[in-house]
Amino acid sequence: MDDPRERFTDLYDRHYRSVLGYALLRAEHGVAEDVASEAFLIAWRRLDEVPDPPLPWLLGVARNLLAKQRDSRHRGKALVDRIAALTTPRDQVDWDVADHVVDREHALAALARLPERDVEAMALATWHGLPPDQAAAVMGCSTRTYNVRLHRARRRLEKALRAEPGAARPYTGAVGHPFLEEA
């Protein structure tokens, strides 16, 4: 269908939740909603410039809006604070069932020590499921640069996890952790 309103409604119905989910992990709830709505208003105004697939473009617009919003003092901790704000008891239950190598709080603490760009590189890959070229488009860098960031982010996170005092359970692979094979 060539009708711009129909195209836009499709775009909104498919991607609003992803865009808001992205913003919710970077800004407080009310701000996140406004950012998501504003990102779609921009998409409407520039509908013919929206590429395919549209999600990286939309997340990039939201990212820019958030950058204007953001209090720079909070950078490092912002994501961890947002995760904490959105955490419910079910998350703890899930965590326990999955039998991770560290406690959830300790994992969050490790995350809080990472540079924000590293966390973002990982989030785009694991939470949003974006392949490197699309994640790079969101972050406004080359695919190569993104891959380097992602690699560095994983290394830093592994290191931070090992350094966490709560990492009491030694990393033993599957041995002694029956759930691990099923998880």
Partner 1 sequence: MPSSPPSPRDPDREQHMTDRLFAALRPRALDEVAEEAYGRRRAGDLARAFDAPHTPSGRSARARGRSRRPSLILAGTAAAGLAAAVVLVPGLVSDDASPGRAPIQAGSPSTPPVASATPLDARSVLLAAAETAAREPADSGRYWYTRTRTDSLIRDLPGAYEARLDELLRQREAAKGDAGGDDAAEKAAEKEFEREVGRLKRESARSAGPPFAAATSETSETWRARDKGGTNRGVTRPAPEATFASAADEARWKAMGSPELVPDRRTRTYEDDLDRVLSIDNPGLTIRNVSKLPTRKEALRGRLRDMYEASPGRRGQADAGFAAYLWQTGTDLLTSPITPGTRAALFRVLAEQPGITSTGRAGDVFGREGVALSTTTPGDETTRGDVEYRMILDEGTAELLQIEVRDERPLPLLSQAFERTGWVDRLGERPAG
**Positions in 87-106 near partner 1 (CB under 8 A):** 87-88, 90-91, 94-95, 98, 100-102, 104
Q: Where are the alpha helices (DSSP H) in the chain?
A: 4-24, 29-45, 55-69, 75-86, 89-98, 104-112, 116-126, 132-139, 143-163, 178-182
- Cβ burial 115-146 (10 Å sphere, 16+ → b, else e): ebebbbbbbbbeebebebebbbbbbebeeeeb
Please say which residue, 73 or 89, places its beta carbon nearer to partner 1: 89
Q: Is 139 in the site for partner 1 (CB under 8 A)?
A: no
Q: Which of residues 148-167 bind partner 1 (CB under 8 A)?
A: 154, 157-158, 161
Please say which residue, 91 or 133, places its beta carbon nearer to partner 1: 91
| Distance of closest approach, residue 50 Cβ to partner 1, in angstroms | 11
Q: Is 137 in the site for partner 1 (CB under 8 A)?
A: no
* Site stretch for partner 1 (CB under 8 A), options 122-130, 131-139, 141-149: 122-130
- Cβ burial 47-76 (10 Å sphere, 16+ → b, else e): eeebeeebbbbbbbbbbebbeeeeeeeeee
Q: Which of residues 29-58 bind partner 1 (CB under 8 A)?
A: 29-31, 33-38, 40-42, 44-49
Q: Token pair of 48, please?
A: 């013919």
Contact 121, 150 (CB under 8 A): yes
* Site stretch for partner 1 (CB under 8 A), options 84-92, 130-138, 141-149: 84-92
Contact 43, 80 (CB under 8 A): no
Contact 27, 39 (CB under 8 A): no
Please say which residue, 69 or 145, places its beta carbon nearer to partner 1: 69
Q: Is 135 in the site for partner 1 (CB under 8 A)?
A: no
| Distance of closest approach, residue 18 Cβ to partner 1, in angstroms | 8
Please say which residue, 126 or 142, places its beta carbon nearer to partner 1: 126
| Distance of closest approach, residue 145 Cβ to partner 1, in angstroms | 19
